[in-house]
Protein backbone atom coordinates (compact mmCIF):
# COMPACT_ATOMS: atom_id res chain seq x y z
CA UNK A 1 0.00 0.00 0.00
CA UNK A 2 3.02 2.27 0.22
CA UNK A 3 3.46 2.81 -3.52
CA UNK A 4 -0.07 4.04 -4.07
CA UNK A 5 -1.41 5.94 -1.11
CA UNK A 6 -5.10 5.31 -0.30
CA UNK A 7 -7.31 7.40 -2.48
CA UNK A 8 -9.21 9.55 -0.10
CA UNK A 9 -11.73 11.70 -1.92
CA UNK A 10 -11.45 15.38 -1.12
CA UNK A 11 -14.06 16.39 1.45
CA UNK A 12 -16.66 18.58 -0.15
CA UNK A 13 -17.96 20.91 2.51
CA UNK A 14 -21.69 20.38 3.11
CA UNK A 15 -23.67 22.84 5.16
CA UNK A 16 -25.72 21.60 8.10
CA UNK A 17 -29.36 22.49 7.98
CA UNK A 18 -32.63 22.41 9.90
CA UNK A 19 -35.95 22.94 8.19
CA UNK A 20 -39.58 23.15 9.20
CA UNK A 21 -41.51 19.91 8.57
CA UNK A 22 -43.14 19.51 5.16
CA UNK A 23 -46.91 19.74 5.29
CA UNK A 24 -48.15 16.14 4.87
CA UNK A 25 -51.87 16.83 4.82
CA UNK A 26 -51.85 16.50 1.03
CA UNK A 27 -51.95 12.69 1.19
CA UNK A 28 -55.12 12.83 3.26
CA UNK A 29 -55.35 10.29 6.05
CA UNK A 30 -52.04 8.64 6.88
CA UNK A 31 -53.94 5.44 7.57
CA UNK A 32 -56.95 4.79 5.34
CA UNK A 33 -59.39 1.90 5.37
CA UNK A 34 -59.26 -0.30 2.27
CA UNK A 35 -62.06 0.23 -0.21
CA UNK A 36 -64.84 -2.32 -0.61
CA UNK A 37 -63.35 -3.55 -3.89
CA UNK A 38 -59.90 -4.04 -2.36
CA UNK A 39 -61.38 -6.01 0.52
CA UNK A 40 -63.47 -8.25 -1.80
CA UNK A 41 -60.38 -9.22 -3.80
CA UNK A 42 -58.45 -9.97 -0.58
CA UNK A 43 -61.26 -11.98 0.95
CA UNK A 44 -60.30 -15.63 1.32
CA UNK A 45 -63.86 -16.91 0.94
CA UNK A 46 -64.27 -15.04 -2.33
CA UNK A 47 -60.99 -16.45 -3.62
CA UNK A 48 -61.97 -19.99 -2.67
CA UNK A 49 -65.37 -19.61 -4.27
CA UNK A 50 -63.81 -18.41 -7.52
CA UNK A 51 -61.55 -21.46 -7.63
CA UNK A 52 -64.53 -23.74 -6.96
CA UNK A 53 -66.64 -22.21 -9.74
CA UNK A 54 -63.71 -22.54 -12.13
CA UNK A 55 -63.34 -26.26 -11.36
CA UNK A 56 -67.07 -26.86 -11.81
CA UNK A 57 -67.07 -25.13 -15.21
CA UNK A 58 -64.15 -27.31 -16.38
CA UNK A 59 -65.96 -30.44 -15.15
CA UNK A 60 -69.21 -29.55 -16.93
CA UNK A 61 -67.48 -28.70 -20.21
CA UNK A 62 -65.35 -31.87 -20.23
CA UNK A 63 -68.33 -34.15 -19.39
CA UNK A 64 -70.43 -32.60 -22.17
CA UNK A 65 -67.62 -33.02 -24.66
CA UNK A 66 -67.10 -36.68 -23.59
CA UNK A 67 -70.86 -37.29 -23.68
CA UNK A 68 -70.73 -40.62 -21.79
CA UNK A 69 -72.90 -40.61 -18.66
CA UNK A 70 -71.70 -44.07 -17.62
CA UNK A 71 -68.06 -42.99 -17.39
CA UNK A 72 -68.27 -39.32 -16.50
CA UNK A 73 -71.63 -37.71 -15.76
CA UNK A 74 -71.97 -33.96 -16.09
CA UNK A 75 -72.03 -31.64 -13.10
CA UNK A 76 -75.69 -30.87 -13.70
CA UNK A 77 -76.66 -34.54 -13.76
CA UNK A 78 -74.64 -35.21 -10.60
CA UNK A 79 -76.37 -32.28 -8.92
CA UNK A 80 -79.77 -33.68 -9.95
CA UNK A 81 -78.99 -37.06 -8.36
CA UNK A 82 -77.44 -35.32 -5.37
CA UNK A 83 -80.47 -33.14 -4.70
CA UNK A 84 -82.86 -36.06 -5.31
CA UNK A 85 -81.03 -38.21 -2.74
CA UNK A 86 -80.86 -35.32 -0.31
CA UNK A 87 -84.59 -34.73 -0.77
CA UNK A 88 -85.57 -38.37 -0.20
CA UNK A 89 -83.25 -38.53 2.79
CA UNK A 90 -81.06 -41.44 1.65
CA UNK A 91 -77.85 -39.43 1.40
CA UNK A 92 -78.51 -37.57 4.63
CA UNK A 93 -79.10 -40.84 6.50
CA UNK A 94 -75.90 -42.31 5.10
CA UNK A 95 -73.91 -39.20 5.97
CA UNK A 96 -75.24 -39.06 9.49
CA UNK A 97 -74.36 -42.73 10.02
CA UNK A 98 -70.81 -42.06 8.85
CA UNK A 99 -70.38 -38.87 10.86
CA UNK A 100 -71.67 -40.48 14.04
CA UNK A 101 -69.13 -43.29 13.76
CA UNK A 102 -66.47 -40.73 12.94
CA UNK A 103 -67.31 -38.55 15.94
CA UNK A 104 -67.06 -41.50 18.35
CA UNK A 105 -63.74 -42.65 16.87
CA UNK A 106 -62.28 -39.14 16.72
CA UNK A 107 -63.25 -38.34 20.31
CA UNK A 108 -61.84 -41.61 21.64
CA UNK A 109 -58.66 -41.11 19.59
CA UNK A 110 -58.16 -37.61 21.02
CA UNK A 111 -58.78 -38.79 24.57
CA UNK A 112 -56.21 -41.56 24.19
CA UNK A 113 -53.74 -39.13 22.62
CA UNK A 114 -54.21 -36.75 25.56
CA UNK A 115 -53.56 -39.53 28.06
CA UNK A 116 -50.48 -40.77 26.20
CA UNK A 117 -48.91 -37.33 25.75
CA UNK A 118 -49.54 -36.31 29.36
CA UNK A 119 -47.85 -39.54 30.40
CA UNK A 120 -45.01 -38.77 27.98
CA UNK A 121 -44.53 -35.24 29.36
CA UNK A 122 -44.52 -36.50 32.92
CA UNK A 123 -41.65 -38.95 32.56
CA UNK A 124 -38.67 -39.79 30.39
CA UNK A 125 -39.84 -43.39 30.05
CA UNK A 126 -43.28 -42.23 28.97
CA UNK A 127 -41.80 -40.05 26.26
CA UNK A 128 -39.65 -42.95 25.03
CA UNK A 129 -42.69 -45.25 24.98
CA UNK A 130 -44.73 -42.75 23.02
CA UNK A 131 -42.05 -42.06 20.44
CA UNK A 132 -41.54 -45.81 19.94
CA UNK A 133 -45.26 -46.42 19.56
CA UNK A 134 -45.75 -43.56 17.09
CA UNK A 135 -42.74 -44.67 15.07
CA UNK A 136 -44.19 -48.19 14.91
CA UNK A 137 -47.86 -47.50 14.32
CA UNK A 138 -48.02 -44.16 12.51
CA UNK A 139 -46.84 -45.61 9.17
CA UNK A 140 -49.25 -48.55 9.48
CA UNK A 141 -52.27 -47.86 7.25
CA UNK A 142 -55.45 -48.03 9.28
CA UNK A 143 -57.16 -50.01 6.53
CA UNK A 144 -54.58 -52.76 6.97
CA UNK A 145 -55.90 -53.25 10.48
CA UNK A 146 -59.45 -53.74 9.27
CA UNK A 147 -59.22 -57.52 8.82
CA UNK A 148 -57.89 -57.80 12.35
CA UNK A 149 -60.63 -55.50 13.64
CA UNK A 150 -63.21 -57.70 11.95
CA UNK A 151 -61.85 -60.76 13.73
CA UNK A 152 -61.79 -58.99 17.07
CA UNK A 153 -64.98 -56.93 16.96
CA UNK A 154 -67.00 -58.52 14.17
CA UNK A 155 -68.95 -56.77 11.48
CA UNK A 156 -70.18 -53.42 12.76
CA UNK A 157 -69.45 -50.03 14.24
CA UNK A 158 -66.86 -51.15 16.83
CA UNK A 159 -64.54 -52.31 14.04
CA UNK A 160 -64.87 -48.97 12.28
CA UNK A 161 -64.29 -47.08 15.52
CA UNK A 162 -61.17 -49.15 16.14
CA UNK A 163 -59.58 -48.27 12.81
CA UNK A 164 -60.54 -44.60 13.20
CA UNK A 165 -58.93 -44.45 16.62
CA UNK A 166 -55.80 -45.91 15.09
CA UNK A 167 -55.71 -43.29 12.35
CA UNK A 168 -56.32 -40.35 14.73
CA UNK A 169 -54.28 -41.30 17.75
CA UNK A 170 -50.75 -41.39 16.36
CA UNK A 171 -51.02 -38.31 14.20
CA UNK A 172 -52.37 -36.23 17.07
CA UNK A 173 -49.98 -37.64 19.68
CA UNK A 174 -46.96 -37.12 17.43
CA UNK A 175 -47.84 -33.51 16.63
CA UNK A 176 -48.66 -32.70 20.22
CA UNK A 177 -45.29 -34.06 21.37
CA UNK A 178 -43.47 -32.04 18.70
CA UNK A 179 -45.41 -28.98 19.84
CA UNK A 180 -44.57 -29.54 23.51
CA UNK A 181 -40.89 -29.92 22.72
CA UNK A 182 -40.78 -26.63 20.87
CA UNK A 183 -42.24 -24.54 23.70
CA UNK A 184 -39.58 -21.90 24.49
CA UNK A 185 -37.64 -22.45 27.71
CA UNK A 186 -38.41 -18.93 28.94
CA UNK A 187 -42.13 -19.54 28.69
CA UNK A 188 -41.78 -22.82 30.57
CA UNK A 189 -39.79 -21.08 33.30
CA UNK A 190 -42.29 -18.26 33.64
CA UNK A 191 -44.96 -20.92 34.11
CA UNK A 192 -42.98 -22.76 36.76
CA UNK A 193 -42.08 -19.44 38.38
CA UNK A 194 -45.67 -18.97 39.52
CA UNK A 195 -45.67 -22.49 40.92
CA UNK A 196 -47.47 -24.41 38.15
CA UNK A 197 -46.90 -28.17 38.19
CA UNK A 198 -48.27 -31.38 36.71
CA UNK A 199 -51.58 -31.35 34.88
CA UNK A 200 -52.11 -27.61 35.49
CA UNK A 201 -48.74 -26.86 33.95
CA UNK A 202 -49.59 -28.95 30.88
CA UNK A 203 -53.06 -27.45 30.52
CA UNK A 204 -52.23 -23.80 31.23
CA UNK A 205 -48.79 -23.50 29.63
CA UNK A 206 -47.84 -26.37 27.33
CA UNK A 207 -51.14 -26.90 25.52
CA UNK A 208 -51.78 -23.28 24.55
CA UNK A 209 -48.10 -22.69 23.77
CA UNK A 210 -48.03 -25.76 21.50
CA UNK A 211 -51.44 -25.07 20.02
CA UNK A 212 -50.35 -24.41 16.40
CA UNK A 213 -48.77 -27.84 16.32
CA UNK A 214 -51.67 -29.50 18.13
CA UNK A 215 -54.10 -27.95 15.68
CA UNK A 216 -52.06 -29.29 12.77
CA UNK A 217 -52.30 -32.72 14.41
CA UNK A 218 -56.06 -32.37 14.80
CA UNK A 219 -56.39 -31.52 11.11
CA UNK A 220 -54.24 -34.41 9.95
CA UNK A 221 -56.08 -36.71 12.35
CA UNK A 222 -59.43 -35.59 10.99
CA UNK A 223 -58.39 -36.12 7.38
CA UNK A 224 -56.95 -39.58 8.18
CA UNK A 225 -60.09 -40.55 10.06
CA UNK A 226 -62.51 -39.42 7.37
CA UNK A 227 -60.50 -41.15 4.66
CA UNK A 228 -60.18 -44.35 6.65
CA UNK A 229 -63.86 -44.42 7.46
CA UNK A 230 -65.07 -44.01 3.89
CA UNK A 231 -62.58 -46.60 2.67
CA UNK A 232 -63.57 -49.06 5.41
CA UNK A 233 -67.23 -48.66 4.58
CA UNK A 234 -66.44 -49.46 0.98
CA UNK A 235 -64.72 -52.70 1.93
CA UNK A 236 -67.64 -54.06 3.84
CA UNK A 237 -71.23 -52.92 3.86
CA UNK A 238 -72.13 -53.39 7.49
CA UNK A 239 -75.72 -54.05 6.61
CA UNK A 240 -77.65 -52.48 3.80
CA UNK A 241 -79.85 -50.38 6.02
CA UNK A 242 -77.29 -48.94 8.40
CA UNK A 243 -74.39 -48.39 5.97
CA UNK A 244 -72.57 -45.11 5.75
CA UNK A 245 -71.56 -42.94 2.85
CA UNK A 246 -68.91 -45.39 1.60
CA UNK A 247 -71.59 -48.06 1.39
CA UNK A 248 -73.79 -45.63 -0.58
CA UNK A 249 -71.00 -45.23 -3.15
CA UNK A 250 -70.33 -48.98 -3.26
CA UNK A 251 -74.00 -49.79 -3.87
CA UNK A 252 -74.25 -47.25 -6.67
CA UNK A 253 -71.21 -48.78 -8.36
CA UNK A 254 -72.87 -52.19 -8.26
CA UNK A 255 -75.83 -50.67 -10.07
CA UNK A 256 -73.51 -48.93 -12.57
CA UNK A 257 -75.17 -45.72 -11.47
CA UNK A 258 -72.20 -43.42 -12.01
CA UNK A 259 -74.08 -40.21 -11.27
CA UNK A 260 -74.87 -41.56 -7.79
CA UNK A 261 -71.23 -42.56 -7.30
CA UNK A 262 -70.32 -38.99 -8.15
CA UNK A 263 -72.89 -37.54 -5.81
CA UNK A 264 -71.53 -39.75 -3.01
CA UNK A 265 -68.01 -38.53 -3.75
CA UNK A 266 -69.33 -34.99 -3.86
CA UNK A 267 -70.81 -35.44 -0.39
CA UNK A 268 -67.44 -36.71 0.91
CA UNK A 269 -65.67 -33.71 -0.59
CA UNK A 270 -68.24 -31.21 0.67
CA UNK A 271 -67.98 -32.49 4.21
CA UNK A 272 -64.21 -32.35 3.98
CA UNK A 273 -64.35 -28.76 2.71
CA UNK A 274 -66.81 -27.76 5.40
CA UNK A 275 -64.74 -29.16 8.25
CA UNK A 276 -61.53 -27.70 6.90
CA UNK A 277 -62.69 -24.27 5.78
CA UNK A 278 -65.45 -23.59 8.29
CA UNK A 279 -64.74 -25.46 11.50
CA UNK A 280 -60.93 -25.48 11.49
CA UNK A 281 -60.79 -21.97 9.97
CA UNK A 282 -62.96 -20.68 12.81
CA UNK A 283 -60.81 -22.39 15.43
CA UNK A 284 -57.68 -20.90 13.86
CA UNK A 285 -59.15 -17.42 13.65
CA UNK A 286 -60.03 -17.47 17.34
CA UNK A 287 -56.75 -18.95 18.52
CA UNK A 288 -53.44 -19.07 16.68
CA UNK A 289 -54.23 -16.21 14.29
CA UNK A 290 -55.55 -14.00 17.07
CA UNK A 291 -52.48 -14.72 19.19
CA UNK A 292 -50.09 -14.01 16.32
CA UNK A 293 -48.59 -17.51 16.51
CA UNK A 294 -49.46 -18.25 12.92
CA UNK A 295 -50.24 -16.07 9.96
CA UNK B 1 -37.42 -9.09 61.16
CA UNK B 2 -33.91 -8.21 60.06
CA UNK B 3 -33.11 -6.15 57.01
CA UNK B 4 -31.52 -9.19 55.42
CA UNK B 5 -33.84 -10.63 52.83
CA UNK B 6 -31.72 -12.93 50.71
CA UNK B 7 -28.72 -14.78 51.96
CA UNK B 8 -26.43 -16.56 49.51
CA UNK B 9 -23.83 -18.63 51.32
CA UNK B 10 -20.85 -20.30 49.64
CA UNK B 11 -22.86 -21.23 46.59
CA UNK B 12 -21.22 -23.38 43.94
CA UNK B 13 -23.33 -23.99 40.87
CA UNK B 14 -22.70 -26.70 38.35
CA UNK B 15 -24.63 -27.81 35.34
CA UNK B 16 -24.15 -30.58 32.82
CA UNK B 17 -23.89 -30.19 29.10
CA UNK B 18 -23.88 -33.39 27.02
CA UNK B 19 -20.06 -33.49 27.23
CA UNK B 20 -18.98 -31.45 30.24
CA UNK B 21 -19.73 -30.67 33.81
CA UNK B 22 -19.49 -26.90 33.93
CA UNK B 23 -18.87 -25.02 37.15
CA UNK B 24 -20.65 -21.71 36.72
CA UNK B 25 -19.97 -20.11 40.10
CA UNK B 26 -17.63 -21.07 42.90
CA UNK B 27 -18.40 -20.36 46.57
CA UNK B 28 -20.22 -17.12 46.08
CA UNK B 29 -21.51 -15.25 49.14
CA UNK B 30 -23.64 -12.16 49.26
CA UNK B 31 -26.47 -10.58 51.23
CA UNK B 32 -29.38 -8.64 49.81
CA UNK B 33 -31.20 -6.30 52.15
CA UNK B 34 -34.83 -5.25 52.04
CA UNK B 35 -35.28 -2.45 49.49
CA UNK B 36 -31.92 -3.01 47.79
CA UNK B 37 -31.34 -2.56 44.12
CA UNK B 38 -28.72 -5.26 44.10
CA UNK B 39 -26.84 -5.67 40.85
CA UNK B 40 -24.74 -8.68 39.87
CA UNK B 41 -22.21 -7.56 37.31
CA UNK B 42 -19.72 -9.62 35.40
CA UNK B 43 -18.41 -10.56 31.99
CA UNK B 44 -20.21 -13.21 30.00
CA UNK B 45 -19.43 -16.63 31.40
CA UNK B 46 -19.24 -15.54 35.02
CA UNK B 47 -22.36 -17.51 35.88
CA UNK B 48 -24.44 -14.49 36.83
CA UNK B 49 -27.56 -15.69 35.02
CA UNK B 50 -27.09 -19.16 36.49
CA UNK B 51 -26.83 -17.58 39.92
CA UNK B 52 -30.11 -15.77 39.35
CA UNK B 53 -31.76 -18.99 38.18
CA UNK B 54 -30.58 -20.67 41.36
CA UNK B 55 -32.12 -17.89 43.45
CA UNK B 56 -35.26 -18.38 41.37
CA UNK B 57 -35.19 -22.03 42.38
CA UNK B 58 -34.71 -23.42 38.87
CA UNK B 59 -31.53 -25.20 39.89
CA UNK B 60 -30.09 -26.36 43.17
CA UNK B 61 -26.59 -25.41 44.32
CA UNK B 62 -23.98 -28.17 44.35
CA UNK B 63 -22.59 -26.64 47.51
CA UNK B 64 -23.74 -23.89 49.86
CA UNK B 65 -27.18 -22.54 50.50
CA UNK B 66 -29.61 -19.89 49.33
CA UNK B 67 -32.07 -18.59 51.92
CA UNK B 68 -34.87 -16.12 51.55
CA UNK B 69 -36.33 -14.84 54.83
CA UNK B 70 -34.34 -17.65 56.39
CA UNK B 71 -36.14 -20.34 54.36
CA UNK B 72 -34.06 -22.53 52.07
CA UNK B 73 -34.84 -22.12 48.36
CA UNK B 74 -35.67 -25.51 46.83
CA UNK B 75 -38.07 -24.84 43.98
CA UNK B 76 -39.45 -21.97 41.89
CA UNK B 77 -42.09 -19.94 43.62
CA UNK B 78 -44.13 -16.75 43.25
CA UNK B 79 -42.28 -15.08 46.15
CA UNK B 80 -39.37 -14.67 43.70
CA UNK B 81 -40.83 -13.40 40.43
CA UNK B 82 -38.46 -13.48 37.50
CA UNK B 83 -38.24 -11.09 34.58
CA UNK B 84 -36.30 -12.62 31.71
CA UNK B 85 -34.32 -11.07 28.92
CA UNK B 86 -36.39 -12.76 26.20
CA UNK B 87 -39.65 -11.30 25.02
CA UNK B 88 -41.31 -14.69 24.74
CA UNK B 89 -41.83 -14.88 28.49
CA UNK B 90 -45.29 -13.40 27.92
CA UNK B 91 -48.06 -15.80 27.02
CA UNK B 92 -49.00 -15.07 23.43
CA UNK B 93 -52.50 -16.44 23.98
CA UNK B 94 -53.31 -13.87 26.65
CA UNK B 95 -53.85 -10.12 26.37
CA UNK B 96 -51.71 -7.65 28.29
CA UNK B 97 -54.28 -7.53 31.08
CA UNK B 98 -54.71 -11.32 31.20
CA UNK B 99 -50.94 -11.78 31.29
CA UNK B 100 -50.68 -9.51 34.30
CA UNK B 101 -53.64 -11.18 35.96
CA UNK B 102 -52.45 -14.74 35.32
CA UNK B 103 -49.92 -15.15 38.20
CA UNK B 104 -52.36 -13.66 40.69
CA UNK B 105 -55.07 -16.06 39.52
CA UNK B 106 -52.82 -19.11 39.55
CA UNK B 107 -51.27 -18.44 42.95
CA UNK B 108 -54.59 -17.27 44.46
CA UNK B 109 -52.60 -14.71 46.44
CA UNK B 110 -55.34 -12.13 45.96
CA UNK B 111 -59.13 -12.57 45.80
CA UNK B 112 -60.34 -12.12 42.25
CA UNK B 113 -61.94 -8.65 42.50
CA UNK B 114 -58.79 -7.38 44.19
CA UNK B 115 -56.60 -9.10 41.58
CA UNK B 116 -58.53 -7.37 38.78
CA UNK B 117 -58.11 -3.97 40.43
CA UNK B 118 -54.42 -4.58 41.02
CA UNK B 119 -53.89 -5.74 37.43
CA UNK B 120 -55.56 -2.63 36.05
CA UNK B 121 -53.62 -0.38 38.40
CA UNK B 122 -50.25 -1.86 37.52
CA UNK B 123 -50.96 -1.84 33.77
CA UNK B 124 -51.80 1.81 34.23
CA UNK B 125 -48.63 2.42 36.19
CA UNK B 126 -46.38 1.12 33.41
CA UNK B 127 -48.29 3.28 30.94
CA UNK B 128 -50.02 0.56 28.95
CA UNK B 129 -53.69 1.17 29.76
CA UNK B 130 -54.34 1.88 26.08
CA UNK B 131 -52.98 -1.56 25.23
CA UNK B 132 -54.80 -3.43 27.97
CA UNK B 133 -56.68 -5.77 25.65
CA UNK B 134 -54.00 -6.18 23.02
CA UNK B 135 -52.13 -9.46 22.45
CA UNK B 136 -48.34 -9.44 23.00
CA UNK B 137 -47.48 -9.98 19.33
CA UNK B 138 -48.76 -6.48 18.59
CA UNK B 139 -46.47 -4.81 21.13
CA UNK B 140 -42.95 -3.46 20.69
CA UNK B 141 -40.05 -4.98 22.61
CA UNK B 142 -40.06 -2.24 25.23
CA UNK B 143 -43.79 -2.64 25.80
CA UNK B 144 -43.47 -6.40 26.22
CA UNK B 145 -40.78 -5.83 28.80
CA UNK B 146 -43.02 -3.40 30.64
CA UNK B 147 -45.78 -6.01 30.70
CA UNK B 148 -43.34 -8.57 32.09
CA UNK B 149 -42.26 -6.15 34.82
CA UNK B 150 -45.86 -5.22 35.56
CA UNK B 151 -46.80 -8.89 35.79
CA UNK B 152 -44.00 -9.59 38.22
CA UNK B 153 -44.69 -6.54 40.38
CA UNK B 154 -48.46 -7.00 40.55
CA UNK B 155 -47.85 -10.13 42.58
CA UNK B 156 -45.79 -8.21 45.16
CA UNK B 157 -43.01 -10.77 45.38
CA UNK B 158 -40.47 -10.64 48.21
CA UNK B 159 -37.84 -10.01 45.59
CA UNK B 160 -37.89 -9.23 41.90
CA UNK B 161 -35.30 -11.17 39.89
CA UNK B 162 -34.28 -9.51 36.64
CA UNK B 163 -32.05 -11.30 34.17
CA UNK B 164 -30.59 -8.67 31.84
CA UNK B 165 -34.12 -7.45 31.20
CA UNK B 166 -33.12 -4.56 28.97
CA UNK B 167 -30.33 -6.23 26.99
CA UNK B 168 -32.52 -7.00 23.98
CA UNK B 169 -33.81 -3.44 23.71
CA UNK B 170 -32.47 -0.61 21.58
CA UNK B 171 -30.34 1.98 23.39
CA UNK B 172 -33.01 4.67 23.59
CA UNK B 173 -35.70 2.32 24.89
CA UNK B 174 -33.24 0.79 27.33
CA UNK B 175 -32.51 4.19 28.84
CA UNK B 176 -36.19 4.96 29.11
CA UNK B 177 -36.84 1.61 30.77
CA UNK B 178 -34.03 2.13 33.27
CA UNK B 179 -35.57 5.45 34.25
CA UNK B 180 -38.98 3.83 34.55
CA UNK B 181 -37.68 1.05 36.74
CA UNK B 182 -36.03 3.57 39.03
CA UNK B 183 -39.15 5.70 39.27
CA UNK B 184 -41.24 2.60 40.04
CA UNK B 185 -38.74 1.69 42.71
CA UNK B 186 -39.01 5.18 44.18
CA UNK B 187 -42.80 4.84 44.33
CA UNK B 188 -43.06 1.27 45.56
CA UNK B 189 -39.72 0.50 47.20
CA UNK B 190 -39.50 -3.17 46.22
CA UNK B 191 -36.34 -5.29 46.41
CA UNK B 192 -34.71 -6.19 43.14
CA UNK B 193 -31.84 -8.46 42.18
CA UNK B 194 -30.62 -7.35 38.79
CA UNK B 195 -28.14 -9.10 36.51
CA UNK B 196 -26.28 -7.19 33.82
CA UNK B 197 -23.04 -7.17 31.86
CA UNK B 198 -23.05 -3.41 31.35
CA UNK B 199 -20.99 -1.36 33.81
CA UNK B 200 -23.01 1.76 33.08
CA UNK B 201 -26.31 0.01 33.63
CA UNK B 202 -25.01 -1.46 36.88
CA UNK B 203 -24.04 1.96 38.23
CA UNK B 204 -27.26 3.64 37.11
CA UNK B 205 -29.62 0.91 38.34
CA UNK B 206 -27.82 -0.43 41.37
CA UNK B 207 -27.58 0.64 44.95
CA UNK B 208 -25.10 -2.20 45.58
CA UNK B 209 -22.97 -3.82 42.90
CA UNK B 210 -21.52 -7.30 43.21
CA UNK B 211 -18.63 -7.72 40.79
CA UNK B 212 -17.98 -11.29 39.66
CA UNK B 213 -14.98 -12.69 37.84
CA UNK B 214 -15.35 -15.25 35.10
CA UNK B 215 -14.76 -19.01 34.67
CA UNK B 216 -15.94 -19.89 37.26
CA UNK B 217 -17.79 -16.93 38.76
CA UNK B 218 -16.22 -15.77 42.01
CA UNK B 219 -16.86 -12.64 44.04
CA UNK B 220 -14.40 -9.87 43.16
CA UNK B 221 -15.91 -6.95 45.03
CA UNK B 222 -19.06 -5.43 46.41
CA UNK B 223 -19.45 -1.71 45.79
CA UNK B 224 -21.85 1.01 46.74
CA UNK B 225 -23.52 3.00 43.93
CA UNK B 226 -26.54 4.40 45.66
CA UNK B 227 -25.68 8.03 44.94
CA UNK B 228 -25.28 7.62 41.21
CA UNK B 229 -28.01 7.64 38.60
CA UNK B 230 -28.62 8.86 35.03
CA UNK B 231 -27.88 12.43 36.02
CA UNK B 232 -24.41 11.45 37.22
CA UNK B 233 -23.32 10.02 33.86
CA UNK B 234 -20.33 12.08 32.77
CA UNK B 235 -19.58 13.35 36.26
CA UNK B 236 -16.14 12.54 37.68
CA UNK B 237 -17.58 10.31 40.43
CA UNK B 238 -19.27 8.16 37.83
CA UNK B 239 -16.11 7.90 35.78
CA UNK B 240 -14.04 6.92 38.81
CA UNK B 241 -16.42 4.13 39.82
CA UNK B 242 -16.73 2.97 36.25
CA UNK B 243 -12.96 2.78 35.87
CA UNK B 244 -12.61 1.03 39.19
CA UNK B 245 -15.06 -1.67 38.09
CA UNK B 246 -13.35 -1.92 34.73
CA UNK B 247 -10.04 -2.52 36.45
CA UNK B 248 -11.59 -5.08 38.77
CA UNK B 249 -13.01 -6.96 35.82
CA UNK B 250 -10.18 -6.85 33.35
CA UNK B 251 -6.92 -6.21 35.13
CA UNK B 252 -4.57 -9.18 34.90
CA UNK B 253 -2.40 -8.00 37.79
CA UNK B 254 -5.02 -9.24 40.20
CA UNK B 255 -4.34 -12.81 39.27
CA UNK B 256 -7.22 -13.21 36.88
CA UNK B 257 -6.47 -14.64 33.48
CA UNK B 258 -7.05 -12.26 30.64
CA UNK B 259 -10.49 -12.83 29.23
CA UNK B 260 -9.77 -11.18 25.92
CA UNK B 261 -13.31 -9.92 26.06
CA UNK B 262 -14.06 -6.32 25.45
CA UNK B 263 -17.77 -6.46 26.16
CA UNK B 264 -18.43 -5.05 29.57
Domains of chain A in start order, with CATH, are 93-286 (1.10.3720.10)
Q: Is the peptide bond before B216 cis (omega within 30 degrees of 0)?
A: yes
ipTM greater than 0.90: no
Does A170 score more than 90 pLDDT?
yes
* A65-to-A61, A72, A142 alpha-carbon distances in Å: 6, 10, 39
Residue of chain B minimizing CA distance to A207: B93
pLDDT grade, residue A136 (50/70/90)?
very high
Model pLDDT, residue B255: 47
Closest-CA distance, A131 to chain B, in angstroms, reads 21
Q: B82, A193: Cβ pair inside 8 Å?
A: yes
- A chain contacts of residue B77, beta-carbon cutoff 8 Å: 193, 195
Give the one of B89, B93, B138 whose C-beta lies nearest to A186's C-beta.
Answer: B89
B58 inside 8 A of chain A by CB: yes
Contact A208 B137 (CB under 8 A): no
Angle at B198 between CA B183 and CA B154, to 5 degrees: 35
> How far is the alpha carbon of B156 from chain A, nearest alpha carbon, in Å?
12
Give the lowest-confidence range in A137-151, A252-266, B220-234.
Answer: B220-234
What string of DSSP letters covers A128-177?
HHHHHHHHHHTTS-GGGGHHHHHHHH-SSHHHHHHHHHHHHHHHHHHHHH
Q: Pick the residue of A188, A190, A195, A198 with the most B CBs within 10 A to test the interface with B by mutation.
A: A190
pTM, entire model: 0.79
Q: Which of A194, A210, A212 to mutate to test the interface with B (most CBs of B within 10 A)?
A: A194
Q: What is the mean pLDDT of residues B59-82?
A: 87
Per-residue pLDDT band at A254 (split at 50, 70, 90): confident
Span A37-47, mean pLDDT?
Answer: 81
Q: Convert the pLDDT of each residue in A108-117 to its tens digit.
A: 999 999 989 9
Which residues from A are below 8 Å from B when comparing CB atoms?
184, 186-187, 189-190, 192-196, 200, 204-205, 208-209, 211, 287, 290-293
CB pairs under 8 A between A and B: 66
Using pLDDT thresholds of 50, 70 and 90, give the confidence band for residue B87: confident
**For residues B8 and A136, what is the distance between their CA atoms, to the nearest angstrom?**
50
SS3 A3: coil
A194 and B102 within 8 Å at the Cβ level: the answer is yes
What pLDDT, on a 0 to 100 scale, did the predictor assign at position A237?
61
User: What is the predicted pLDDT for the residue at B141?
Assistant: 86
Residues 6 or more apart from A220 whose CB is under 8 A from it? Answer: A171, A172, A175
Instruction: Find chain B residues with C-beta within 8 A of A186's C-beta.
Output: 84, 86, 88-89
> What residue ranges define each of the domains in chain B, with the CATH number in brackets?
1-79+186-258 (3.40.50.300)
Between B50 and B263, the higher pLDDT residue: B50
Contacts of A287 in chain B (CB under 8 A): 93
Verify whether the Cβ–Cβ distance A195 to B138 is below 8 Å.
Answer: no
Is the per-residue pLDDT at A77 higher than 60? yes
Rounded to 10 degrees, the C-alpha dihedral A199/A182/B105/B141 comes to 180
Amino acid sequence: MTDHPPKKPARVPRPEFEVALTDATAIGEVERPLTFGERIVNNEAVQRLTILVGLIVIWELYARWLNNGLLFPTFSETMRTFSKDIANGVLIDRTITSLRTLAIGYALGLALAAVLTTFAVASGIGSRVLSMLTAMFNPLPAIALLPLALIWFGLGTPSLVFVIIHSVLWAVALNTMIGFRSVPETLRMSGRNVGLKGVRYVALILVPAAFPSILAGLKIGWAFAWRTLVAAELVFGVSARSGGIGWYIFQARNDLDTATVFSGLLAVILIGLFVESVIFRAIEAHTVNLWGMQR
Amino acid sequence: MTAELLEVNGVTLQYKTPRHLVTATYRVDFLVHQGDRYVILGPSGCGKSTLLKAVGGFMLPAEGSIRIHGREVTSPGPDRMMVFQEFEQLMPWKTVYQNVLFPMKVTKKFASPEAATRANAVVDKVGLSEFRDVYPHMLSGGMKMRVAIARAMALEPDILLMDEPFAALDALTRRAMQRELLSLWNQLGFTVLFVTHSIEEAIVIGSRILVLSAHPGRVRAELDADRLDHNSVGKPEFGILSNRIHTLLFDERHGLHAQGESRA
